[in-house]
Structure 1
Amino acid sequence: MRIALFATCVADAMFPGAPRATVRLLERLGHTVVFPESQACCGQMHVNTGYMDEALPVVRNHVQTFDPVLTGAWDAVVVPSGSCTGSIRHQQAMVARRAGDEDLATRAESVSARTYELSELLVDVLGVTDVGAYFPHRVTYHPTCHSLRMLRVGDRPETLLRAVEGIDLVDLPQADGCCGFGGTFALKNAPTSSAMLDDKCDAVDSTAADVLVAGDRSCLLHIGGGLSRRGSATTTLHLAEVLASTRERPTPLSDAPRTRTRPVGGPR
């Protein structure tokens, strides 16, 4: 297949390892990945903070960038983010219709129908659950809110992780609980967000995992910051970075300290 990659703003600006790993993974599976250079933001942060008018040109740029998928130039669009995939699917057409642009809304819906979060693409479109990965580490998985509740990806990510050679995949207690990020929610409701983050970090620490994996780098940014501040030995990686790892080209863990500075579940 010929697949267009939407890297997302957070990954492009701060965590390029996730989109790069997505490319490595899909190319290893025999697919061609293209990167449309006019891509920018999907508009989610504008919509979520109420800037609907400002979101319109952002949505228009996204649809224009990826509408070659409608002509058969590409077979699909892949997004290594449940949050951004959710925005593309559930917000972009709404923004266009609010502005009275029905043509843009219709095109946005058509593009979104061919846009997939990474685990959806692998399992549902490509029919793959074992991607030939090797990652000999103790891992726990956090199902991010948008992927879990908006996209309903279900157990697709965990199915992919369970097939990874060498992995020790352990359940995360209260996994479906929000990490407290929610974009600007973490800024506007900092005390509540911090309390939710503490609960999530407690759950992660209780697993004694080497790595926390999720499908959204934004959530991993939030949780990773909390883990780092408390001196946790658990680092974070995107799902794509684990699935792209092989014996020949292993994905390294971060340079964070590998020795715990406090007992698991101990006081902060």
Structure 2
Amino acid sequence: MWPEAPKATVRLLERLGCRVEFPVEQTCCGQMLTNTGYADQAAPLVRRFADVFEGYDAIVAPSGSCVGSVREQHPMVARKAGDDALAARAENLAPRVYELSEFLVDVLGVTDVGATFPHRVTYHPTCHSLRMLRVGDRPLQLLREVRGIDLVELPGADECCGFGGTFAMKNADVSVAMGTDKAAHVVETGAEVLVAGDNSCLAHIGGILGRRRTGVRTMHLAEILASTEGDRA
């Protein structure tokens, strides 16, 4: 749905010397099924994930939500399906699955990725990255090293934006109210760009910002980190 983020992830990782492959056999990690009570139907996707990615040194995703599902839910789904062998495969694979900022800071050991982005930016830490993966300030470490950036703190940054997958549909009024509060905080910063590590949050907050004609645009963390001096952003 938002190909810019994975494309930017590939450009960034290749610039940092990684050999990146995108196996075409991959599909959804199954989180949507698991979170809506269809864990049995998610089990084949857990098996596919293991089949496709077991041979890699590291699996990197520009989504704390997806990485959280793979690391936390896949073993549970496999056990619930009565497949202990698959659960063991999922548990062995989980430590090699990284959210983008985790991989850059913890595995590659870099915070300055050679990015340039001369704009006023504020950062929203998404719930899965903040609470499930505990990525902490890794995204901020990376953003602080971007040349030309004016990084401003987002008030109430650790508050949920209200998306929450199907929560936004089942509890639309509450979801919109939470998103409206978040959007107001974004506008308060005077930022040109709101950045986050999950496109789902960006879609929710960005939709509200757009409908209110705030002029604030949204970008994935990977897009900013992949930006160089010659890019037009």
State which drifts further: 105-114 or 139-148: 105-114
Q: Alignment partner of 1:160: what SS?
A: helix
CA distance in 1, matches of 2:49, 2:154: 35
Measured in 2, the distance between the counterparts of 1:251 and 1:152 equals 32
- Whole-angstrom distance in 2 between the partners of 1:120 and 1:135: 21
Contact 1:244–1:251 at 8 Å: present in 2 too?
A: no
Tell me, in whole angstroms, the C-alpha distance in 2 between the residues paired with 1:68 and 1:251.
Answer: 37
The code of the aligned residue for 1:176 comes to D
Superimposed CA distance per residue, residues 125-149 of structure 1 (whole angstroms, 9 cap, x where no aligned partner): 0000000100000000000000000
* CA displacement at 1:100 relative to structure 2: 0.8
Aligned-pair distance for 1:63? 1.2
1:30 — aligned with what? 17
Distance in 2 (alpha carbons) for counterparts of 1:87 and 1:120: 15
Give the Cα separation in 2 of the matches to 1:208 and 1:48. 35
The answer to whether the aligner puts 1:147 opposite 2:129 as a matched pair is: yes
1:72-83 matches, cutoff 5 A: 75-83=57-65
Q: Does 1:125 align with 2:107?
A: yes
Q: Provide the aligned length of Structure 1 versus Structure 2.
A: 233
- Taking the aligned partners of 1:209 and 1:251, their CA distance within structure 2 comes to 18
Q: What RMSD in Å do the two structures reach over aligned CA positions?
A: 0.7
User: Of 169, 172, 180, which aligns to 2:154?
Assistant: 172
Per the alignment, residue 204 of structure 1 pairs with: 186
Aligned sequence identity (%): 67
What amino acid is the match of 2:64?
A: G
AA of the residue aligned to 2:35: N
CA distance in 1 between counterparts of 2:92 and 2:101 reads: 20
1:251 deviation in Å?
5.3
TM-score of the pair, normalised by structure 2: 0.99
Structure 1 unmatched runs, 5+ = 1-13, 70-74, 253-268
Q: Secondary structure at the match of 1:91?
A: helix
Q: Quick one: distance in 2 between partners of 1:232 and 1:64?
A: 45
* Partner residue, 1:6: none
Query: How high is the TM-score relative to the length of structure 1?
Result: 0.86
Partners of 1:241 and 1:251 within 8 A in 2: no
- What is the match of residue 75 of structure 2? 93
Higher share of residues assigned helix: 2
Q: Who is 2:93 aligned against? A: 111
Aligned equivalents of 2:207 and 2:120: distance in 1?
20
| 1:1-268 alignment, distance < 5 Å | 14-69=1-56, 75-248=57-230, 250=231, 252=233
